[in-house]
Every structure is written in structure tokens, then in C-alpha cells.
Structure 1
Amino acid sequence: MRALLLFLLVTLPASAQSWGATASTAAEVVDGLDPWLESRVSVGGRAGVLAGVAEAGVVERYDQAAPFVGADLYPTLADGAYGNVRARWSPGSDVTARLDLGAEAFVALGRGWEASAGGRRLAFADRDVWIATASGARYVGPWYVRGQLAAVPDGDRVPVSTRLLVRHLGDGEGGAFGSFWELSLARGEEAVVESTGRTAVRGSWAVAGRLQRSLSGPVGVTLGAGYTADGDLSRGAAEAGVFVRF
């Protein structure tokens, strides 16, 4: 984590605003298996045309631990356009993607509307999964509503997944360390490593909620809960974390 913090301090100027750090733990309870756990710390901020966070943590599934490092960056591309580049690297992992790499471009259409298109590559130990995405969203006051389509090719099939996100920006800023609450509903396909060690693209649906709120001065909390219906891997999830702005 010290190397990631040093990277951000060197590459982003001292005038950066809205800096912060967070630590969180998430657990997913799967019937008949030990809980899936993920612990994560991140640090980031905004400087000029670039905003983002760097992260490090570990995922625990099937009695195996998979450490990871990653980054989630949002560069401004032009007036009314910005991008998102995200990557997570977990070398040698047999329970998650060893490389999760994605890129997306967003364009403002006027009157609060926004459109995006992007792609994502998940490199597992036994196969690669490619995902193409497109979305439409609208800002209305403190509200942000986004609908997304994702095509997940799997052999001869090209199933399409859908996701709806509704977010309320509590402080009007949002961002990695802003106050907000959100609800999401998704239906379609997910790529996951099964208990046999084989990666499969499985049909599922999921519902989730998340709250992030400042409590006292620069300190705040993040709470989340959700449920994924996926046959023998159906699971409930809970997340808790703390963040601090500086």
C-alpha cells in the first residue's frame, strides 16, 4: 500500500482536492461454503483533469487467499467527455480473475443526459472473459439514474445482462469520498470461479444497496448489503468500512 500511496503523491500535484482514504471488509455467505471475504484499503483524490483511487487488499474463497492491487482512474478527455480506466491485478489467483482490466468513455448529451461505451477483460487461470458495455444515464438535481447493458460472449452464446442504478448524492458531490446512498438491480450473466476451480459464466440476478455518509468532520462510514441468486452459489452480502478526508 505504501508503494501505491507514493505513486499517487508523485503523479498528482500538491493542489489536489478531495483526498481521502478508506478501509473496508465485505463478506458473502454461500450455503455449504465458508464465507467469501474481501478486505481492502484505498487512497485517492482529484487533481486537475484526473481523479481516482489506488487500492490493495485480499480476497478469500475456497480456503485460498488472493492478494490484489489496483487502480480506478477518471481522466477528463474533453469538454463534456471523460473516461474511466480501471485495473485489478491478482497474480497467481485461482479463485478470482488474475487480471481485471476495463475502459469506458462517457459523453454528455445535454439536459443532464450522459451516454457511455466500454469493454472489460477478465483473465482467469483457465480462460479469458470479455465484456462489452453500453449505458445511458441522467442527472436530475441530487439524483443519478443509470441503465447499463453488457454483452458477455460465452461460446456460441452472446447473452446480454442489464443493470439499473439509482443514486442520491447527499452532499451534491459524490465521488469516492462523498456522501450518497444507492440501490441497484441486475439481471443476466456473471463470470465466477466455481468450487471445482472452473470458471463459468452463470445466469443470475442481484439486488444491492449502499450508504456512504460523513459522521463527524472528515470521518465517515460505508455500509452495504445485497443478495445474488445464482443456484448453488446464491449468496447474501454485507460490507462495512470507514473513510477519512484530508
Structure 2
Amino acid sequence: MTTIPMTTSLLYSALLHAALLGGQADASPMASALPQDAAEEGYEARLQRARALATAGDPALREQAIRLYDAMLQASPGNSDVLLARGRTYAWAGRYAEAEADLRAVTTAKPDYADAWSALGDLYLWSDRPAEAAEAYGHWVALAPGASEPRIARGRAWRAAGDMDAARADFAAAAANGAEPTQVAALTESTVVRTAVPDAMLADGYRWSLRAGVDHTGFSGGRDAWTDTGLTLRRQFAFGSLALEWLQADHFQRRDDAWALDSYVSLWSRAYANVRYQRGPASGVLPRDAWRVEVFQGVGSGWELSASVDHLRFSSDTEFYGVGVGRYVGNWYLRYKLQHVPGVSSGSWSHRGVVRNYYRGNADDYLEVSASHGRSADLDRSGALVRNSNASVGVSWVRYFRSDWGFKLGAGYADDADGFNERQLSFALYRRW
């Protein structure tokens, strides 16, 4: 496709506006777009002028460009170049059905017209039809097998469709065809899917996973230490995962058990949810019942918003309401969560921040530092514990030493609001198949 210089585009815009301001308000829209010698204007000149109007960035001028294309098609019905230009203009205006009709007409009449397949792929990608975009770009790839641009375009479509393996293959082929290495590296990195809960949402080819963990918490002031153990069997599905968990808490020289179902499910585009229910003893250190719902929504470029509700029942009911915002930047993930517990007066608030680095560039291995303050329901420790700290900090390391075996090491310190300082060590072993 021919690129119209910006100066040309601005010149046409200025001339058109000047004509309107010069007393030609009684002229028709078509007349305002045509010079005095329109009848003598050649085909190429009219096509270039229409393209300049279409790319000027002004919706009104874009509509004038469409009227010019209409007039040209009346004089030359089925002209592929004009249909392609009008189809692209329709797509830029968000008139996707009309754009598809024009572009499909071109690809049907001239299946070897590479620019038409490129434009059709763009249309499908912009209208949130990535699988159809990949198919259209595939024709472009076949027509230009040695070029990098169609491979990059199709790779982006595969990425939008969620097929990261196909996207990476196209990006690698683009590199082999001479694409800029830094661009390919950035595109390839963008196919590494990451979530706030990677082991629960990303199957990575495995259907089952098992997690066995133990936490040991020591206290100052002669308070007895706590030991928490847990076993989680998780089944991965195309839409998320479902886990059965067994939890045991040994606190205050009392041992309680609980069972839980924990699910993660994909919702609409870039959204997923965690739904959990836990059943414990009639009375004890673990809640009799606990449930939670948290929804995550990706927005913009690398942002993730969340909202949650936790409900715990001991001798009485307690609810926690939370909102969070996360940010993915390269191999980094940062998140802040604000949580509120309604109560007398204004209730209580807690703040939690997390900084995670995927140090190997994949979605499995990471280092994480967290810090929090205030009252919260800590679901990482025995499923549902009410924590109330003046300040706490934790670090953890997750490492898969084989594709199917991994571990997590953690350590933490907290200044509890009840006057006891605590030191925590944790270990978990992962197995997946």
C-alpha cells in the first residue's frame, strides 16, 4: 500500500477547510471534496487524494474519502485497488461489516493480492476476531514466505487468540527472515502468560498437579509455635482448574483439620475468577466455614484489577472486602491490595504489596517480596486465618528444577498487633503430570 506523506495530508485538509470557510457552504459534500478541474483529474491523483483524506485523522475527512471512493467505484465497478482502499477506510472508521464486504470482494477476485489479505487480517484483529485474523494473515504468509512482516502480524493474531506456541513459532520465523532482533525478543517475551496465581491457572501441558507444604511459625514471649500443613490435588481444564485441599493447623496445642474446594475459572476476555469453599471443625482455630470470590480483570497494557469478598464463620461471621491493582512489566509483577473489614465506627483496613520477579523468563520460577499492615484473611496459611499485624514482611522463592518437579521456600517476620513477634519458615513441594 502507498504511504501518503503527512504534509500532503495536512495540505488537503487545509485546502478543504479553506474552501468551506470561503463561502462554499451551499456546495454539496462531494463538491467540497472536489477541485474545480475534478473532471480533468486523473485516476491516480483522485486515488491519492482520497487516501490523504482517509489518513488525515479527521472523521469528517474520512467520510469525504469514502464518498470519493464511492464515486470512483461508480465509474469503475469492482476496481480492486479502490475496494481495498475503501475497505481499509471503513475499518479505520469502525464500520467492520462494510469493510469486510469490500476486502472479501478483493480477496475473492484476486486471491494473490497480498495487501488485501493484510488488510483483512487487520480488520479481524481490530474487531476482536483473532482466529480469523490469523487465517487471513496466513494467506499473506503464503504469498510472501520470505518476509518478516506477515509472520509478525500472524504471530500477534495467534497471541490474541491465546495460542502462544503458534505465536512464538511465527515470531521465530520472522527472526529467521530478518526481523529486528529487539522487536522479536519483545514479542516473544509477550507470549509468556503470567497471572497472579500461576500454578492455578496455567496448565502448560499438564492436567494434574500436587502440592504438599508445611509452615512453621515461632513466636516471641514464650508463646507455643504453630505448625500448618496442607495437601492440594489440582485438576487443570481448558477453562481453569479445580482443587481438593486438606488442611491441618496445630495451634495452641490443639490440632484441627479442614477440607476445601478451590477453583479458578476463565471468564470473558482477560478475566478469571477464584471461587473457594472451606469446611472446618464446629469450633477451633480454623473457621467452621469459609468462602471467597475474587475476580481478576486485565486492562490496558499489562494492568490487572481485582475485587474480592471473603467470609469466615467462627463463633460469629466476619467478612473482608478487597480491591487490588496489579502491573506486569517485562519479567516483573507488582500488586497492591486494599482490604476492609466492616465493624463499629469505620471498621478496619489492611494494605498488602507484592513485588515478584520471574527471573528465568517463564511463568513458573520467581522470587517474591511481600509486605502488609493491618487486619486481613490470609489464605496462604491454613486456608483462612485472621491476621492482625502492625507490620509484616515475607520473601519466597519458587523453582522448578525439572519441568514436572518444583519447590517453594519462604520466610517471614511480623510484628503482631497482640504483642507477639513471629518468625515463619515454609516449604512446599510441587509435582505435576
Distance 1:217 1:116 in 2: 30
Contact 1:30 1:234 in 2 (8 A): yes
Q: CA RMSD in A?
A: 2.3
Distance 2:390 2:419 in 1: 11
Shift of 1:235: 0.8
| Deviation by residue 1:145-176 (Cα, 9 ceiling, x = unmatched) | 111100012323322211101112345554xx
Q: Tell me, what secondary structure is at the counterpart of 1:17? A: coil
Q: Choose the corresponding residue for 1:222, options 408, 411, 418.
A: 408
Distance 2:226 2:237 in 1: 35
| Superposition map of 1:99-110 within 5 A | 99-110=289-300
Shift of 1:95: 1.2
Q: Tell me, what secondary structure is at the counterpart of 2:282? A: coil
Contact 1:122 1:128 in 2 (8 A): yes
Structure 1 runs (4+) greater than 6 angstroms displaced: none
| Deviation by residue 1:81-127 (Cα, 9 ceiling, x = unmatched) | 11111222212241122222110111111101111112111111x22
Q: Percent identity?
A: 26
- The unaligned stretches of length 5 or more in structure 2 are 1-203, 379-384
Amino acid of the residue matched to residue 238 of structure 1?
L
Q: Tell me, what secondary structure is at the counterpart of 1:214? A: strand
Structure-2 residue corresponding to 1:74: 264
Is 1:212 the counterpart of 2:402? The answer is no
* More helix as a share of residues: 2
Amino acid of the residue matched to residue 83 of structure 1?
A
Q: Tell me, what secondary structure is at the counterpart of 1:55? A: strand
* More strand as a share of residues: 1
Structure-1 residue corresponding to 2:427: 240
Q: Tell me, what secondary structure is at the counterpart of 1:42? A: strand
Contact 1:30 1:233 in 2 (8 A): yes
Structure-2 residue corresponding to 1:97: 287
TM-score (norm 2): 0.48
Distance 2:373 2:412 in 1: 14
Change (3 A) 1:86 1:233: farther
Is 1:181 the counterpart of 2:367? The answer is yes
| Superposition map of 1:135-174 within 5 A | 135-170=324-359, 172=361, 174=363
Amino acid of the residue matched to residue 106 of structure 1?
F
Shift of 1:26: 0.4
Distance 2:376 2:400 in 1: 33
Change (3 A) 1:217 1:111: closer
Distance 1:98 1:16 in 2: 36
Structure-1 residue corresponding to 2:323: 134
Distance 1:57 1:162 in 2: 26
| Deviation by residue 1:163-205 (Cα, 9 ceiling, x = unmatched) | 101112345554xxx322211010112469xxxxxx9874532
- Structure index of larger Rg: 2
Is 1:56 the counterpart of 2:246? The answer is yes
Contact 2:305 2:325 in 1 (8 A): yes
Change (3 A) 1:213 1:202: closer
Is 1:38 the counterpart of 2:228? The answer is yes
| Deviation by residue 1:200-233 (Cα, 9 ceiling, x = unmatched) | 8745321111111112452222110101111433
Contact 1:16 1:46 in 2 (8 A): no
Amino acid of the residue matched to residue 43 of structure 1?
L
Shift of 1:19: 2.7
Q: Tell me, what secondary structure is at the counterpart of 2:336? A: strand
Q: Tell me, what secondary structure is at the counterpart of 2:267? A: strand
Contact 2:320 2:342 in 1 (8 A): yes
Contact 1:182 1:209 in 2 (8 A): yes
Is 1:118 the counterpart of 2:308? The answer is yes
- The unaligned stretches of length 5 or more in structure 1 are 1-14, 193-198
Shift of 1:25: 0.8
Distance 1:19 1:70 in 2: 17
Distance 2:243 2:359 in 1: 21
Distance 1:180 1:100 in 2: 29
Change (3 A) 1:201 1:223: closer
Q: Tell me, what secondary structure is at the counterpart of 2:307? A: strand
Q: Tell me, what secondary structure is at the counterpart of 2:223? A: coil
Change (3 A) 1:44 1:189: same
Structure ranking higher on relative contact order (CA contacts 8 Å, 6+ apart): 1
